[in-house]
Chains A and B, each alone.
Chain A
Amino acid sequence: MLAAHLLVGALLFALGLVGFVTRRNLIIIFLCTEMMFQGIILNLVAFGRYPLEGPPTFDGQVFSLFLIAVAAAEAALGLALVVLLYRHRGTLDAGAWTTLRDE
């Protein structure tokens, strides 16, 4: 029921988080954010299908449709930036871009 779906969603989100902080390839980092979106979509739909009170609603599904659109926009912009950065330095290593870091 609700708890099982929430836990699967949380697992996907946590795996995406771990990948986001540990992997160094820019493209894999973006893939991991998309994985977190998958967990969230699962949670939203599960909350709509198994509400704590009242009948099932479809608002969660509407929210996940918005989320898909935002993810598409993010992927388009993010990948354009990654291509630009790759042409710039010839590497996908996130560690090669530390000029904005506070030393």
Chain B
Amino acid sequence: MPILLILMLVLGAVGLFLALPGGRADLSRLGLLVLAIGAALLVAGLTQQLAGEPGQALFAGCSLVALLAALRVVTHRKPVYSALYFVLLVVAVSILLVRMQAEFVFGALLIVYAGAILVTYLFVIMLAQQARPAPYDTRSREPLWGCLAGFVLLTQVAAYVYRRPASEQAAVLPRVGGDAILNVATPLLTHYVVGLEIVGVLLLAALVGAIAIARRPAATADEGED
């Protein structure tokens, strides 16, 4: 595992600790700056590994945007902005998927996540909007331990990913031919058709459950409390 990668992860952990709300309030801008530099260096290093494959610039740009948006989702003090940065994250990730010949997942991700799920989130955030930033948004819980846990997890994953030398890792493969939709639909509707049916049942159950929970009046929910 490259030593530079570990250094960048350390940089990221320190920057995230500084940038998290309530970690060190005055230093959050400095933390964001450190994070931005660390993310840019990391993406530059990763892009070098893609040498010889088309779409290098696309990978660099989209992964940088995705990482920065993800950092803002975690560190922003206003929930509405967090949700909007999440939309940016979804767009960047879905463009990364197009690069890997996943056009159908790209469309599904954009429509379901950026379109449906995030609009629901925004509705709920606006429903529960406070006049001023709430104390639970301006102070985070145990930022030091949280950053440490994320750092340990990342170093473990990175050590595992890089335990093989680069020459042994998967080679650049040509694009698969055929129709983009057909390539996904054929396994989905033949090999995984039982799973598809189960997912349909799951969605129906979630729909019924969500209606049952949301229709419950607050008065009866209070019974048996206090």
Query: A residues near B, CB below 8 A?
Result: 1-8, 10-19, 21-25, 27-28, 30-32, 34-35, 38, 41-42, 45-46, 48-52, 55-59, 61-62, 64-66, 68-77, 79-84, 86-88, 91-95
Query: B residues near A, CB below 8 A?
Result: 16, 20-21, 42, 46-47, 49-50, 53, 59, 63, 66-67, 70-71, 73-74, 79, 82-83, 86, 89-90, 93, 96-97, 100-102, 104-105, 108-109, 112-113, 116-117, 120-121, 124-125, 127-128, 134-137, 139-143, 145-147, 149-151, 153-154, 157-158, 161-162, 166, 169-173, 176, 183-184, 186-188, 191-192, 195-196, 199, 202-203, 205-207, 209-211, 213-214, 216, 218, 221-222
In the complex, A23 Cα to B20 Cα: how many Å?
9
- Assess A42 versus B141: contact at CB under 8 Å? Given A31-B86, A34-B86, A70-B199: no
Q: Is the interface of A mostly helix, strand, loop or mixed?
A: helix
Q: B137, B173, B205: which contacts A55 (Cβ < 8 A)?
A: B173
Whether B120 lies near A31 (C-beta < 8 A) is no
Whether A68 lies near B108 (C-beta < 8 A) is yes
Nearest 4 pairs of A and B residues by beta carbon: A73-B206, A19-B74, A22-B146, A93-B136
